[in-house]
């Protein structure tokens, strides 16, 4: 695997880290891979490390080229700076698709909380839209204004070009109301956009991949979070295989959605 970090904006400390797996050779039959662009959460104050590399790992294992965007936060988070960072990152990923072994028509984005807001915004209003989006306990509605007063509410921008979306949340999230996810899902349904939505019974905000490696102060089988919350990882990969197709000896299989 090759790891490369590219500075997209030095003043705003925006970087794109690429985790690139081989194609061809021993991976005969794989000439290009799908890609996942990860947008960590952090309330537009920071980019959480718990929602960066730990999230990249399962997508790498599933065969994706994986990228982490550390976008504009803090004093630089004024909208639309973060969306501009996304546009620059996605343009770079698709522009270097041949070099990086990426299928430019199979690039997904995943975001958490404020990063989920950015991912949702990318899905509904960016110039260089993703081919699919995974939104984790995301700020999809007016709640984003508490963290970034000038930001748009993605739920108001859903249109016919919105990509298929996978959403997950916990019902008792005390930081971002589950209503943000439910309203976005309702908007997707109204617009005829393919989607899958999982609302788990209980668990804290910011649970990332949902195991003890990222849940500080929690233990295995902790009653404060349902053990099923971590199922979103495998379910999202399954959803993306339905949207993108899967690896086969002849390239990708046909999409199901």
Residue 204 belongs to a domain with what CATH number?
A: 3.40.50.1820
Tokens of 206: 């910011």
Contacts made by residues 54-63, CB under 8 angstroms, sequence distance 24+? 54/208, 54/209, 54/213, 54/214, 55/110, 55/112, 55/208, 55/209, 56/19, 58/209, 58/233, 58/234, 58/237, 59/110, 59/237, 60/1, 60/19, 60/21, 62/237, 63/21, 63/30, 63/33, 63/34, 63/247
Asked whether residue 212 is domain-assigned, the answer is yes
Q: Which 8-state DSSP code applies to residue 27?
A: B
Q: What is the pLDDT of residue 85?
A: 98
Asked if pLDDT for residue 199 goes beyond 90, the answer is yes
Apex 14 CA angle, 181 and 114, nearest 5? 15
| Inter-CA distances, 186 with 156, 168, 189, 240, Å | 11, 14, 5, 20
How would residue 203 be classed by pLDDT, with cut points 50, 70 and 90?
A: very high
Q: What is the pLDDT of residue 155?
A: 98
C-alpha 47/C-alpha 40 separation (Å) is: 5
C-alpha 75/C-alpha 52 separation (Å) is: 21
Rounded mean pLDDT, 166-178: 98
Domain count for the chain: 1
Asked whether residue 257 is domain-assigned, the answer is no
Do residues 110 and 55 make contact, with C-beta atoms less than 8 angstroms apart? Answer: yes
Rounded mean pLDDT, 75-88: 98
Q: Tell me the residue range of the domain where 144 lies.
A: 2-252
Residues 67-78: tens digit of each pLDDT? 999 999 999 999
Rounded mean pLDDT, 10-28: 96
Residues 174-190: tens digit of each pLDDT? 999 999 999 999 999 99
Asked whether residue 50 is domain-assigned, the answer is yes
Rounded mean pLDDT, 153-172: 98
Q: What is the pLDDT of residue 209?
A: 96
- Global pTM exceeds 0.85: yes
Q: Which 8-state DSSP code applies to residue 190?
A: H
Asked if pLDDT for residue 220 goes beyond 80, the answer is no
Residues 121-156: tens digit of each pLDDT? 999 999 999 999 999 999 999 999 999 999 999 999
How would residue 222 be classed by pLDDT, with cut points 50, 70 and 90?
A: confident
Q: What is the pLDDT of residue 219?
A: 78
Q: What is the pLDDT of residue 216?
A: 78
Asked if pLDDT for residue 8 goes beyond 80, the answer is yes
Asked if pLDDT for residue 215 goes beyond 90, the answer is no
Asked whether residue 129 is domain-assigned, the answer is yes
Q: What is the pLDDT of residue 218?
A: 80
Q: What is the pLDDT of residue 249?
A: 84
Asked whether residue 232 is domain-assigned, the answer is yes
Rounded mean pLDDT, 76-94: 98
Q: What is the pLDDT of residue 65?
A: 98
Asked whether residue 248 is domain-assigned, the answer is yes
C-alpha 222/C-alpha 226 separation (Å) is: 8
């Amino acid at each position: 695997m090759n790891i490369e970090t590219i500075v997209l904006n030095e003043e705003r400390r925006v970087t794109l880290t690429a985790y690139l797996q081989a194609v061809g050779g021993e991976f005969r039959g794989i000439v290009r891979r799908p890609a996942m662009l990860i947008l960590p959460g952090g309330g537009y104050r920071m980019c959480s490390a718990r929602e960066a590399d730990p999230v990249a790992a399962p997508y790498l294992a599933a065969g994706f080229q994986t990228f982490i965007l550390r976008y504009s936060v803090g004093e630089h988070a004024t909208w639309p700076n973060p969306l501009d960072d996304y546009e620059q990152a996605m343009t770079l990923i698709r522009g270097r698709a041949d070099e990086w072994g990426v299928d430019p028509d199979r690039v997904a984005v995943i975001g958490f909380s404020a990063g989920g807001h950015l991912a949702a915004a990318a899905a509904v209003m960016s110039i260089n839209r993703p081919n699919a989006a995974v939104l984790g306990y995301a700020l999809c509605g007016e709640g984003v204004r508490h963290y970034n007063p000038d930001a748009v509410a993605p739920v108001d921008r859903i249109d016919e070009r919105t990509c298929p979306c996978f959403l997950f949340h916990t019902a008792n999230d005390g930081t971002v109301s589950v209503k943000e996810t439910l309203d976005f899902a309702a908007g997707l349904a109204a617009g005829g956009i393919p989607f899958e939505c999982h609302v788990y019974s209980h668990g804290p905000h910011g649970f990332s991949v949902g195991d003890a490696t990222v849940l500080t102060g929690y233990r295995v089988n902790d009653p404060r979070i349902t053990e099923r919350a971590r199922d979103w990882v495998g379910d999202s990969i399954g959803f993306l295989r339905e949207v993108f197709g899967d690896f086969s000896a002849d390239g990708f299989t046909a999409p199901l959605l």
